[in-house]
Amino acid sequence: MGPHSSRHQCLIYEGAPSRQIPAVASALSEKLKTNHRCLYLNSRPMIAGMKSHLAANGLDVEQEIASGNLVLSSEQTHLVGNWEFDVPGMLGTLERALRHALNDGYQGLWATGDMTWEFGPSKDLTKLLEYEWRLEEFMRQHPEMSGICQYHADTLPREVLQKGLRTHSHLFVNETLTMVNPHFLDRTSHLQTEDGVVELDRYITGMLSRQSVNEA
């Protein structure tokens, strides 16, 4: 799969966000074991749920936080003005966090965030495509960076889910399974056309249906 491998993953899901906590928590725990600092960006209720789940699975959450291994944040300092998403600001935050992790002796930084939360109350998702392409480029340039972008199908327009699908080389299925994304387009071949929208839509619908069956 090459050096980039599956470091930039996409999780598209529906239903209560809390249903995704167990799988994401397992992925996070595995990264902690391989000496990665883990950054979890989400709302306060989701952070509380993540802490509870990690603790129930035997992780000393407070110790992990105190030692700097685990960073749980609901801060939205990457939102500016009228709560608009700031692409350079968010990438700058990740770059600083990665640099600090490496300086502190970690193998790298693993980060995950929910896109609905990251883009803030204004829900201005026009900058999503730019952000995801620049994040992809950042990860290519920095092999120590990895993570999962979470897309909640219930709170995001289908067009946004399609853009999320096109901008990630791999799809997060669960803590033990990552799939190569057949609809990934690298930036050089990406054209802003309607071609393939029906096929993308069908793929997303099928993916969500399989999740429901697996969780039943």
Q: What pLDDT, in 10s, does the model give residues 18-33?
A: 999 999 999 999 999 9
pLDDT at 2: 39
| Closest C-alpha among 163, 140, 46, 147 to residue 97 | 147
| Separation of alpha carbons 137 and 140, rounded Å | 5
Higher pLDDT, 138 or 122: 138
Half-sphere exposure of 203 (CA within 13 A, CB side): 17
Reply yes or no on whether the pLDDT at 206 is more than 50.
yes
Superfamily of domain 8-215: P-loop containing nucleotide triphosphate hydrolases (3.40.50.300)
SS3 83: coil
Largest CA distance in the chain: 50
| Separation of alpha carbons 181 and 145, rounded Å | 19
| DSSP secondary structure letters along 43-79 | -HHHHHHHHHHHHHTT--HHHHHHTTSEEEE---TTE
Q: How confident is the model at residue 119 (pLDDT cuts 50, 70, 90)?
A: confident
pTM over 0.75: yes
Which residue is associated with the tokens 């000393």?
Answer: 60
User: Rounded to the nearest 5°, which phi and psi values hold at 138?
Assistant: -60, -45
